[in-house]
Chain A
Amino acid sequence: MNSDPVVHKPDRADIATTTDLCLLAGKIMLQSGAETYRVEDTMSRIAACLGFPKSTSYVTPTGIMFQADEAGAAKLTGIAERTTDLQKVTAVNGISRQLSGGQLTAEQARLKLKEVECAAHAFPIWLQIAAASIASGCFMIMFQGGWNDFVPAMFSGGFGYCAVIYFHQLVRVKFFSELMASFVVGLISLIFVQLGWGHALDKIIIGSVMPLVPGLLITNAVRDLMAGHLVSGLSRGVEAFLTAFAIGTGIAVAITIF
């Protein structure tokens, strides 16, 4: 908090508004892939600058509990889906900073947060797919693959990312969409190698599954564990494990069948 508490005296908003505001901010951040400690920190900051310095929160990847004041009731919010959306993390961070700087009132902050919550991905979907395919090709090179496999890796990575988006809209089960997407990746890579356009099957596959694999999830899980958020760390670890399992299975099925 940069502002001097004597000069800037916050008007004490009522408990319910503060709780809702904090929960909304926390929910957006958690859904967008912020670390647990950052979510707790932001919520307690917002509460403090609205006049509740002794707020308590309990954050797990699937839900947040928050109590603004000892006198008030605690509230709970559930979280069904988590992605990585750093734009939203940045936006919420900015709003909480403006709030503690006194540039926003609680009501304005709530409206802004609502806006952030509904905001779509800043990049169009074709650009995301293009980015995924380019990243696949580049990762293939970084894993010591040859340049003659660059285009096959790009194609199978791009189609894999398409598949994960498509299947996720079809059935809202993350495990299934990842399994199908990696099956598609395995299939396309195999076709390329069979046609003689691709050469090292393993390199092509590992490059093209990179946009799907949970590398960041694993790291975040370990970070949570080290920060003492044991429940969050373990559940994030399980999520990462499931994703890796889905991808491994999809590829293995594709290779075994054909």
Chain B
Amino acid sequence: MFAQLVTSFIASSAFTILFNTPKRSLLQCGIAGMISWMIYLLLQGIWGPILASLIATTLVGIMGQIFARLYKLPVIIFSVAGIIPLVPGGIAYDAMRKFVENDHNAAVQLAAQAFLISGSIAMGLILSEVLNQMVRRRA
């Protein structure tokens, strides 16, 4: 578990370098990625990957909103960093490889899973934005 935390932190901040994120936000981006991966790992065993990524993205989206206000940067920076460990790039690649290898059954299954997970991530981000707007209106 500790190794997972460290690697997800490093992987997220390394990815934000590839995405040319402003230098002063590298640390926070790593933290966002680490927290989302931790929540995902904890919940994935209970509720499966789709619900787990929905909850993880929602929470990390809310965190991104807070970070954005604290550090005066657009939310997109933190939300992108937070979903880096969750996005189904690996599954999409696996699906395509199965297609190329003529294993269509496995390929369709994986592709559907990739679509559902990315749908739940998008849902989570939208949910966190809606929650943020509700809180702001209340305040």
A contacts, CB < 8 Å to B: 33-35, 38, 84-90, 93, 121-123, 127-128, 131-132, 134-135, 137-139, 141-143, 147, 206, 209-211, 213-216, 218-219, 221-223, 225-227, 240, 244-245, 247-249, 251-252
The smallest C-beta distance from B8 to any residue of chain A, in angstroms, reads 6
Q: Flag if A215 contacts B92 (CB, 8 Å).
A: yes
- B54 contacts which chain A residues (CB < 8 A)? none
**Interface members, chain B 90-110 (any A CB < 8 Å):** 90, 92-101
The smallest C-beta distance from B63 to any residue of chain A, in angstroms, reads 17
Q: Flag if B126 contacts A226 (CB, 8 Å).
A: yes
Q: Flag if A142 contacts B7 (CB, 8 Å).
A: yes
Q: Given A128-B18, A134-B10, A252-B97, does the pair A141, B90 have CB atoms closer than 8 Å?
A: no
Q: Flag if A248 contacts B100 (CB, 8 Å).
A: yes
The smallest C-beta distance from A255 to any residue of chain B, in angstroms, reads 9
- A214 contacts which chain B residues (CB < 8 A)? 89, 92
Of A35, A138, A215, A247, which one neighbours B76 at CB under 8 angstroms?
A35
Q: Flag if B19 contacts A213 (CB, 8 Å).
A: no
Per-residue A-contact encoding for B63-92, CB less than 8 Å = 1, 0 else:
000000000011011001001110111101
Between A and B, 25 residue pairs with Cβ closer than 8 Å are A35-B76, A84-B19, A87-B22, A88-B20, A121-B20, A123-B17, A127-B17, A132-B18, A135-B11, A138-B7, A141-B3, A142-B7, A142-B11, A142-B37, A206-B94, A213-B93, A214-B89, A215-B84, A215-B88, A222-B121, A244-B92, A244-B95, A247-B93, A248-B94, A249-B96
- B88 contacts which chain A residues (CB < 8 A)? 215, 218
Q: Flag if B18 contacts A86 (CB, 8 Å).
A: no
Per-residue A-contact encoding for B35-78, CB less than 8 Å = 1, 0 else:
00100000000000000000000000000000000000110110
CA distance A120 to B107 in the complex (A): 39
Of A89, A135, A147, A213, which one neighbours B92 at CB under 8 angstroms?
A213
Q: Flag if A213 contacts B90 (CB, 8 Å).
A: yes
Of A35, A90, A123, A210, which one neighbours B89 at CB under 8 angstroms?
A210
Interface residue range, chain B: 35 or more
B contacts, CB < 8 Å to A: 3-4, 7-8, 10-11, 14-23, 37, 73-74, 76-77, 80, 83-85, 87-90, 92-101, 114-115, 118-119, 121-123, 125-126
Residue of A nearest to B37 (CB): A142
Residue of A nearest to B120 (CB): A222
Of B3, B4, B19, B89, which one neighbours A85 at CB under 8 angstroms?
B19
Q: Given A219-B118, A252-B101, does the pair A86, B15 have CB atoms closer than 8 Å?
A: no
The smallest C-beta distance from A195 to any residue of chain B, in angstroms, reads 23
Q: Flag if A240 contacts B80 (CB, 8 Å).
A: no
CA distance A219 to B121 in the complex (A): 7
- A210 contacts which chain B residues (CB < 8 A)? 11, 89-90
CA distance A160 to B16 in the complex (A): 18
CA distance A247 to B93 in the complex (A): 7
CA distance A89 to B85 in the complex (A): 22
- A216 contacts which chain B residues (CB < 8 A)? 80, 83-84, 87, 89
CA distance A215 to B94 in the complex (A): 12
Of B3, B11, B22, B96, which one neighbours A86 at CB under 8 angstroms?
B22
With a 10 A CB-CB cut-off, give which of B4, B22, B96 has the most chain A CB atoms.
B96
CA distance A132 to B110 in the complex (A): 25
Q: Flag if A215 contacts B89 (CB, 8 Å).
A: yes
- B85 contacts which chain A residues (CB < 8 A)? 142
With a 10 A CB-CB cut-off, give which of B3, B74, B99, B118 has the most chain A CB atoms.
B118
Q: Which 4 A-B pairs rank lowest in CB-CB distance, beginning with the nearest?
A: A248-B96, A215-B87, A215-B89, A213-B89
